[in-house]
Amino acid sequence: MSGAGFHVHGPHDHELEHAVQHSAQGGMINQIAMFTAVIATVGAIFAYMGGATQANAGLYKNNAAIKKTEAANQWNYFQSKSTKQSLAEVSRDLSPPDKQGIYQAKMERYEKEKKEIEADARKLEAQANEWDKRSDEQMHQHHRWAQATTALQVSIALAAIALLTRKKWLEWGMFGMGGVGVAIGLLAMLHI
């Protein structure tokens, strides 16, 4: 009751004021706890994607190395055919005219085989380059996932500090870093 500037609180008024004051802090705590749980979940997914793209990059680089080795083998085979072709040419030039046709046929066969081997070697080199390119793309995507995960981890750290200090600006910083992390994760998802 109030009268002449004097106000008397009822027994429940004090409890209501207390509930209102603590619900504002409890709301902040609940909000930060919910945000932290969601961001931690998203961060776990981003971390998994980062690991997966890193593993893919290694696998693709390995495939590139295998193709480069196969191409090198083909170029060695090409070289051996070139050597045989040169020996056939020398043999043709040093042999009597009635035997020169045998060596000329060998030279022509080696030339044909060299063209096929060269085509195979170039195809393998192109495949190796494609695997290298795919590996580089996966590493770029891995770096994006890692950046996104780091931003989310910073956001979670800011959430903990905001809870301890009850500073509103830290809560906004937490939301901002969380948004940055999610945005970078979207860039990773879009391969940008």
- The answer for residues whose C-beta is within 8 angstroms of residue 61's C-beta and 6 or more apart is 131, 132, 135
Give, for 22, the enclosing helix (H) or strand (E): helix 11-94
Q: Three-state SS string across 74-112, please? A: HHHHHHHHHHHHHHHHHHHHHCCCCCHHHHHHHHHHHHH
| Burial of 94 from C-beta contacts in 10 A (0-12 / 13-18 / 19+) | exposed
User: Which pLDDT band holds residue 33 (cuts at 50, 70, 90)?
Assistant: confident
Is the pLDDT score of 16 beyond 50? Answer: no
- The answer for residues whose C-beta is within 8 angstroms of residue 136's C-beta and 6 or more apart is 57
d(Cα 43, Cα 149) in Å, to the nearest integer? 5
pLDDT for the residue 1: 46
Higher-pLDDT residue of 80 and 26 is 80
Q: Which residues pair with 3 in a beta bridge?
A: 6
d(Cα 105, Cα 81) in Å, to the nearest integer? 14
Closest C-alpha to 158, from 176, 173, 146: 173
pTM (predicted TM-score) = 0.72
73-123: per-residue pLDDT in tens? 999 999 999 999 999 999 999 999 999 899 999 999 999 999 999 999 999
d(Cα 177, Cα 190) in Å, to the nearest integer? 20
CA neighbours within 13 Å on the CB side: how many for 179? 6
pLDDT > 90: percent of the chain: 75
